[in-house]
Structure 1
Amino acid sequence: MIFMWGICVVLPVAILIKKMPFCRSRVLSHSFCLHQDMLRLVCGDVRVNSLYGLTAVILTKGLDSLTILLSYTMIIRAILNIVSQEAQAKAFSTCISHLSAVLIFYIPLIGLSIIHRFGKHLPPLTHTLLADAYLLVPPVLNPLVYSWKTKQIRRRILILLCRRRTQQQV
């Protein structure tokens, strides 16, 4: 089902972009191919492509976000029904790790979508840096989020942070 959803959203973008006449440089300003970045290279009417791209972003990110919000609402209600305080704390700990991982992915993605749609006045470097942050930040932070639950790793990170603070104060 999810696979088909992805195909139904992405395939029209490829078909619409293939029909466009490119008259400018074919060099993109990013490490990967963004739909909005491709539209900047087109010398024809891009209203249909732009409208579809905006609709796809709103539908996918909006539906995904609503589904995640609904899921977490149901999870939190279930956790609050747990009698044991210790079990509640453990469940909330797991829930926070998962929610952090989701936010680490979605915040740069939504920021990237907004900047590319409405930040045309910003310098190109801003677009490139945000696109690269979207590619790099989630994979770098994901292991940290999930390893934070391991007591030994958490203890070691706290020791390293405390040492740095002590060195900075001296």
Structure 2
Amino acid sequence: MGIPGLEAAHFLISIPFSMFYIVGLLGNFTLLFVVWKEKTLHKPMDLLLCMLALTDISMPTSIVPKALCIFWFNFKGITASGSLTQMFFLQAASVMQSAVLVTIAFNRYVAICNHLRYATILTDAQIAKLGLMGLARAVLFLLPLSLLRSRLPFCANRIIPHTYCDHMAVVKMSCGDITVNRTYGLIIRTVLRISSKKALNICIAHIGVILVSYTPFLFSSQFGQGIALHVHIILANLYFLLAATLNPIIYGVIMKKLCDKVGKYTCTM
């Protein structure tokens, strides 16, 4: 449905949506390009930032193109398989992002508290293993959820009051017993919440990323009972858009070496 109650403003709303998306893509692809080109940036923290950039590309890409189709062309339909695919990639990227943020927090902890052993504790191979573990965690968490959703029978009313296929919005349309789906979804949300708490550390950049990533999520999911539906939907979208847009800027400003390299390639283009 897009944003119910604000249908007349869909085109205007699409302007900041598309701008956030484009700026986020440019920032994250620039970060990936600069780290790939510069051998001096092939350090654990830089590799972790590349993983974060990949999740920041994946999450908004899972929702923004479809949302813009609703805003611009009023294309509101989506197949059942398309809905499941969108939810899987969106949630997998979200779970992967939480794993990367925890790993970045651990990386900063080792760099500050165990500086002399940093190079031996966090090697490039170790970072690659942690990244693969995060990816495996996301897939293993969400495959059962996807299978549970695919087996649900749906009622005649198949209207989702949202810009994307939110898990609970889809599950609530089912005519069957959704107790298992609710319980499993709650477990995943709890794990993500624990991960985000562990990721809080003394680094200014990282605290900024955590605040940007999770503040809209908290207001849309934890404190959203008393707010209007359209505000809830906008906050839910900001959760995916803001972090993807601001993460490269936050880390680029704080990490001088990365900022200098980005400036070097920007000036030569």
TM-score interval for Structure 1 and Structure 2 normalised by the shorter chain = 0.5 to 0.7
Name the amino acid aligned to 1:108: P
Query: Following TM superposition, by how much is the alpha carbon of 1:128 offset from its aligned partner in structure 2, in angstroms?
Result: 1.4
Q: Which residue is equivalent to 1:156?
A: none
Structure 2 CA distance for aligned equivalents of residues 126 and 50 of structure 1: 24
Residue number among 128, 138, 162 corresponding to 2:233 in the alignment: 128
CA offsets 1:97-123 (integer angstroms, 9 cap, x no match): 1221122112223433325xx72x654
Question: Of 169, 174, 186, which aligns to 1:54?
Answer: 186
Q: Which residue of 2 aligns with 1:19?
A: 151
Q: Higher RCO, 1 or 2 (CA under 8 Å, sep at least 6)?
A: 2
Instruction: Return the alpha-carbon distance in structure 2 between the equivalents of residues 140 and 29 of structure 1.
Output: 25
Output one character per residue of 1:56-101: Cα deviation in whole Å (capped at 9) or x when no partner: 1002321x134324xx3xxx5xxxxxxxxxxxxxxxxxx2012211
The answer as to whether partners of 1:13 and 1:49 remain within 8 angstroms in 2 is yes
| Equivalent in the alignment of 1:138 | 243
Q: Is 2:166 the partner of 1:34? A: yes
**Gaps (5+ residues) in structure 2?**
1-132, 260-269
How big is the shift at 1:126?
2.7
User: In structure 1, what is the Cα distance between the partners aligned to 2:209 and 2:197?
Assistant: 16
RMSD: 2.5
Preserved contact between residue 24 and residue 42 of structure 1 (Cα < 8 Å): no
* Consecutive unaligned residues in structure 1, runs of 5 or more: 77-94, 154-170
2:217 touches 2:239 (CA, 8 Å); kept in 1?
A: yes
Q: Is the 8 A contact 1:30 1:131 kept in 2?
A: no
The Cα of 1:2 is off from its aligned counterpart by: 0.9
- Aligned residue-pair number: 124
CA distance in 2, matches of 1:21, 1:49: 13
Instruction: Give, in whole Å, the separation in 2 of the partners of 1:27 and 1:13.
Output: 21
Equivalent pairs: percent with the same residue? 31
Q: Aligned AA for 1:15? A: L
Letter in 2 for 1:96: I
Q: Is the 8 A contact 1:112 1:130 kept in 2?
A: yes
User: Which structure 2 residues correspond to residues 95-106 of structure 1 after superposition, within 5 A?
Assistant: 95-106=203-214
- Give the 3 Å change call, closer, same or farther, for CA 66–146 of structure 1 in structure 2: closer
| Structure 1 moving runs of 4+ over 4 Å | none
Q: How far does the alpha carbon of each residue in 1:35-66 deviate from its partner, in whole angstroms, 9 at most, with x for none? A: 1111221122222111111111002321x134
Larger Rg: 1
Asked if the contact 1:26/1:41 (under 8 Å) is kept, the reply is yes
Normalised by the size of structure 2, how large is the TM-score? 0.41
In structure 2, relative to structure 1, the CA distance for the partners of 1:9 and 1:123 (3 Å cut) is same
